[in-house]
Amino acid sequence: MDQDLADPADNGRGIRDLMGLLVLPALWLGKDGRTVLRLMAQAVERLVPLRFSMVEASILPADASDAFIRIGGSDADPEAIAQWRAASAHWPRTASIAASAGEHTSTPIGPMRVIRLELGVSTQGGGAWFGSDAPDFPTFTQLAVLRAAASLAATGLQAARLEYERAEADRLKDQFLAMLGHELRNPLAPIRSGAALWQTQGVTLDQIRRTGAIMERQVQHMTHLVDDLLDVSRLSAGTVALDQALLDLREVVGLAVEQSRSHIDAKRHALLLDLPDAPCTVLGDSKRLVQVVANLLGNAVRYTPPGGRITLSICATATTVGVAVTDTGIGIEPAMLGRIFEWFTQVERSTERADAGLGLGLALARKLAGLHGGTLHATSRGLGHGSRFEVMLPKAQPAADIPPALPAQAAPASPGLKVLVVDDNQDAGITIGMLLEALGHTASVAHHPYAALELAPAFQPDVFLLDIGLPGIDGYELARRLRALPGLGPFRMIALTGFGQDKDQRNAFDAGFDFHCTKPVDIAVLDKIFSGIAAQKALLV
């Protein structure tokens, strides 16, 4: 080595070689990982008398370690790669230089002087072997060149992985937007057709009722899509709060079946229930656990051809209790079993399956099960053999002496209320006002917050129904000003808005709202709120 260092000609050649390697990053800019390794190996072969080079590294993010091999200046074929990987299993992997003076390593092309260099700062980044039959390999200059090349290749591989991730993110974004457009257009079509039918001269009362029911179902479908997207945001941000209580899992299953019954019947599926006689107690959020089971049922309905069979059973171990949904559907390929719980992932998407959804249901179900300390797993024997999804939750001790629930009493008919609606969307404001009039209330509509402030003292509303996204001042500020406005009698305030995150609800209550409803509001929910307000008003009279 000392003679090598003292040779000015060799040192000058080494500097030129190293400078030449610096152009490699420009050559592999935007290239995939294999191209990066090929360019690196080709450059090194021009500078160092190598018989082979072999790189073991993860070419793509999250992939298992792959091998790239060049022998005698050419890429190795797949059969040779398997042979070389088997041979390299016996080569040293920890030392930077595996060969000392006079030492040779057995390789598939004969004894070679072999060195290993890491790709990156640790062995986790992968490694590169370089082999030569030259008696002085590696010289000081050759080692410097190989180290520089390995370092540049590690940087190039990382850049290729980042480029792949960026391109994959763009692909998934485009795929998601296409799915979202499809899923929103489907319910919009019957809504638009129904609106057009209502404007024809010959429309009958029966047609109005039938199309009204259709439009209501489609709005519920669109609302469910939006709610799922909001849940993705909440779960990703870790802001989902559980309202936990002791629950009988049989009741959770019953509510989920009731929620899914229309979809099951529409596809003529046979639903078989296998439930125990004894209570199955868990500690959980009833709404969220119903959502988990309903999502599993919805997945089975969607991916089972019409006339199939779905079995829903409760299973238990010594410490856990859970729900299993088994179907006779299209099944799941083994390669997909590890991906079906990822956001926006679907087993199949085609024009033959128009109700494929956004690919959120299973991911939401697993996340919600995890929040309850549970697990969700899927099994399938492959395409055409159906699938089984099993959610398991920690078993809870049943509460003793739980008093029976008092029978619900019908609310008395409520007198009409005076309601001031404030919404800058004129169509939204006018239609909600018409609906309130049809429900027996007196409604006045303002499309600007300042108009509402002027109208309120003369109108003396019992209820303010306010949008949040208003011009000039938002609904929160309008609520504060209305609370401070002199001359108003007792009133309640309802936020009716498209902002539905948990923080939006907190902001509404902090601003003085009594209720928070997310658009499009369920009319039954709104009517229940008004009935409660009317009942309280009647007690004060």
Tokens at 369, concatenated: 């099960």
Residues in the chain: 541
Q: How far apart are the first and last CA of the chain?
A: 104
Q: Mean pLDDT across the stretch 15-43?
A: 70
Residue 287 has pLDDT above 70, yes or no: yes
**Beta pairing, strands 463-466 & 66-71:** unpaired
Average pLDDT over residues 457-484: 93
Sign (positive or negative) of CA dihedral 76, 79, 80, 81: positive
Average pLDDT over residues 525-531: 88
Q: Which residue has the higher pLDDT, 466 or 236?
A: 466
What are the sequence ranges of the domains in the chain? 2-166, 175-237, 244-394, 418-540
- 426: confidence class by pLDDT, cuts 50, 70, 90: confident
Q: What percent of the chain has pLDDT over 90?
A: 30
Domain 244-394 classification at class level: alpha beta
CATH numeric code, 175-237: 1.10.287
pLDDT at 99: 44
Range with lowest mean pLDDT among 141-155, 176-190, 246-260: 176-190
pTM of the full structure: 0.56
> In this predicted structure, what is the pLDDT of residue 271?
93
Partners of residue 285 on adjacent β-strands:
244
- Rounded Cα distance, 121 and 142, in Å: 20
Q: Higher-confidence residue: 245 or 124?
A: 245
Tens digit of each residue's pLDDT (9 = 90 or more) over 174-192: 777 776 776 677 777 788 8
Residue 354 is predicted with a pLDDT of 46
φ/ψ of residue 320, rounded to 5: -130, 160
pLDDT of residue 541: 58
> Above 80 in pLDDT, residue 329?
yes
473-489 burial, b at 16+ Cβ within 10 Å, e below that, comes to ebbbebbeebeeeeeee
Q: What is the pLDDT of residues 346-396, one digit of tens each?
A: 665 443 444 556 667 888 889 899 999 999 999 999 888 999 999 999 988
The whole-angstrom separation of Cα 314 and Cα 306 is: 25
Q: What confidence score (pLDDT) does residue 100 get?
A: 46
Within this chain, domains 244-394 and 418-540 share the same CATH topology: no
Measured CA distances, 173 to 134, 152, 222, 343, 344 (Å): 52, 31, 20, 11, 10
pLDDT at 168: 79
Query: Who wins on pLDDT, 30 or 431?
Result: 431
Reported as a single tens digit per residue, the pLDDT across 499-519 is 777 788 889 999 999 999 888
What pLDDT does 191 receive?
A: 82
CATH assignment of 418-540? 3.40.50.2300
- What is residue 16's predicted lDDT score, i.e. its pLDDT? 59
- Does residue 26 surpass a pLDDT of 70? no
Band of residue 454 on the pLDDT scale cut at 50, 70, 90: very high
Which CATH number does 2-166 carry? 3.30.450.40
Q: Does 520 sit behind a cis peptide bond, omega within 30 degrees of 0 on the bond before it?
A: yes
- Between CA 335 and CA 288 the distance in angstroms is 29
Q: Are 402 and 423 in contact (CB under 8 A)?
A: no
If you average pLDDT over residues 110-120, what whole number do you get?
86
Residue 27 has pLDDT above 80, yes or no: no
Residues 193-212 have a mean pLDDT of 86
Average pLDDT score over the chain: 81
What is the predicted pLDDT for the residue at 13? 52
- Residue 345: pLDDT band (50, 70, 90) is low
For residue range 52-80, what is the model confidence (pLDDT) as tens digits?
Answer: 999 888 777 656 567 888 999 898 888 88
